[in-house]
Homo-oligomer: A and B are copies of this chain.
Amino acid sequence: MQLKLEEILNSRVDGLTKGIPAGAALPLGDVGKQGWRLLEGDVPLPAAVLKKSAIEHNVDWMRRFTELTGMRLCPHGKTSMSPQLFDRQLAAGAWGMTAATATHLHVYRRFGVQRILLANQLVDPEGLRFILSELKRDPEFDFYCLVDSTASVEILRNAVAESGCQRPIQVLVEIGQAGGRTGARTVDAAMEVARAAHRAAPHLALRGVEGFEGVLEGATPDQTMARIDRLLDEMSIVASQCDALDLFADGPIILSAGGSQFIDLPPSLQSRLATKREAIFVLRSGCYITHDSSWFSEYAKATALRMPSISQLGAGLRPAIEVWAYVQSLPEPGLAIVAMGKRDCSFDVHMPTPFAWFRAGSEKPAPLARHRVLRMNDQHAYLEVPPDSVLQVGDRVGFGIAHPCTTFDRWSVMLVIDDDYRVVDAIRTYF
């Protein structure tokens, strides 16, 4: 399917937007035609940019991964909140898009996403009104959300009943674990929710079982995996019991797990499940589209160890986000202050990783080793530099990032570059 992107491509950008030069005033869709060079002073820095080649590689890699494993992909759009990137994900065969909030639903529907899995409880009256009006308006709209308590079932049931909507809200029972986030904490609790959802027909339709393993943490990696293993077991038990009791509504049973840290979980879940009815397995990874330079890179290594067959896919995901900024001060030995901060780049998992530098007049960026970000303020980074550092005031430093979600949300427009650091496109985000 294709999204309706004209509104975005025709929307105007100018120097009020971080990353766009002062004199510019043009449609977003024309940004790539200006011949701007990222590192030659054509655009203000700091700038967080997307590497076009890496995005294309990652989207294609994930398409091949889901083909290899027989999974459906329902990428979490919260990562980028960019319909232009959603469009690439859907064009590469994604089953639908995952959302988290009411505003996400507004954005997805505005640009034409037809299948949405809200991987969250929906209790916001405004969001409920919107979803019900969309279900009434568009018979092709296919919507799912989570329930993890009889209270969340009641809120949905009442909203559908009061709206007069003739189609049900489709729900998945969420399974959680003690100390985790949302989700029923035991098989018994989950079955109580499932029965409540079944009883709420025709207003609700119980369609599957969901879990999110990404927030489960053990004291060691083995203990983390043991907790995740238990989550998958409980998900398959609940799905089997619901199947045996005929609690599921018509259609294939939907089993969904797997953020970007554990993309191999839906296949693992598949191998545990035996239901009368057909089941489909939905992976919700969002961060794969840009990957990163440290956090998810480590998870990818662990995934490859758990799932050797992944090597069939060749080179893995590549980091697709870089942040570039100027050295503004070298105030004392061993320290450079760079004009980039918490407003420009994620800092919630790891500090950004300097990997390249560029000086005006150079042909291309050169690798930068042995430099390290110590900390960041709102608009500054403290860079530890070795005694023989090449850096001078005015040089550009390129950083890899950790955690795409908390980098994307610092930019309303991100420039897209080719491998020669020419600006070839731009995306808009909706945070």
Contact = CB atoms under 8 A, between A and B. Distances in A.
A110 B16 contact: yes
Contacts of A215: 377
B126 A22 contact: yes
A133 to B, nearest CB: 8
B331 A176 contact: yes
Contacts of A43: 126
Contacts of A348: 342, 347
Contacts of A237: none
Interface in A15-49: 15-19, 21-23, 41-46
A106 B25 CA distance: 12
A330 interface: yes
A342 B15 contact: no
A382 interface: yes
A125 to B, nearest CB: 3
A369 interface: no
Interface stretch (A63-71, A194-202, A246-254, A404-412): A404-412
Interface stretch (A51-59, A96-104, A271-279, A314-322): A96-104
**Candidate in A102, A105, A326, A328 with the most chain B CB atoms within 10 angstroms:** A328
Main SS class of interface, A: loop
Nearest to A286: B378
A392 to B, nearest CB: 7
A179 B382 CA distance: 10
Contacts of A328: 120-121, 123, 152, 182
Interface string A125-161: 1110110010000000000000011011001000000
B430 A343 contact: no
A94 interface: no
**Candidate in A42, A379, A405, A406 with the most chain B CB atoms within 10 angstroms:** A379
Interface string A283-305: 00000000000000000000000
A204 to B, nearest CB: 16
B103 A182 contact: no
B382 A181 contact: yes
A329 B182 contact: yes
Given A126-B21, A343-B431, A380-B181, A149 B103 contact: no
Nearest to A394: B123
A78 interface: yes
A183 interface: yes
A179 B215 CA distance: 36
A155 B393 CA distance: 9
A327 interface: yes
A222 interface: no
A239 interface: no
Interface in A184-230: 184-185, 215
B110 A329 contact: no
Contacts of A18: 101, 103, 430-431
A377 B124 CA distance: 19
A215 B394 CA distance: 23
B151 A394 contact: yes
A368 interface: no
A339 B118 CA distance: 13
A331 B148 contact: yes
B102 A149 contact: no
A323 interface: no
A178 interface: yes
27 contacts: A16-B107, A18-B101, A21-B130, A22-B130, A42-B126, A43-B126, A44-B102, A44-B103, A44-B106, A46-B101, A78-B379, A100-B378, A121-B328, A123-B394, A124-B326, A148-B331, A151-B394, A152-B329, A155-B393, A180-B331, A181-B382, A182-B328, A183-B331, A342-B406, A343-B405, A343-B431, A347-B348
Given A148-B329, A176-B331, 15 more contacts: A15-B103, A17-B103, A17-B430, A22-B102, A41-B125, A43-B126, A44-B101, A78-B378, A149-B393, A151-B393, A151-B394, A181-B329, A181-B377, A378-B405, A412-B412
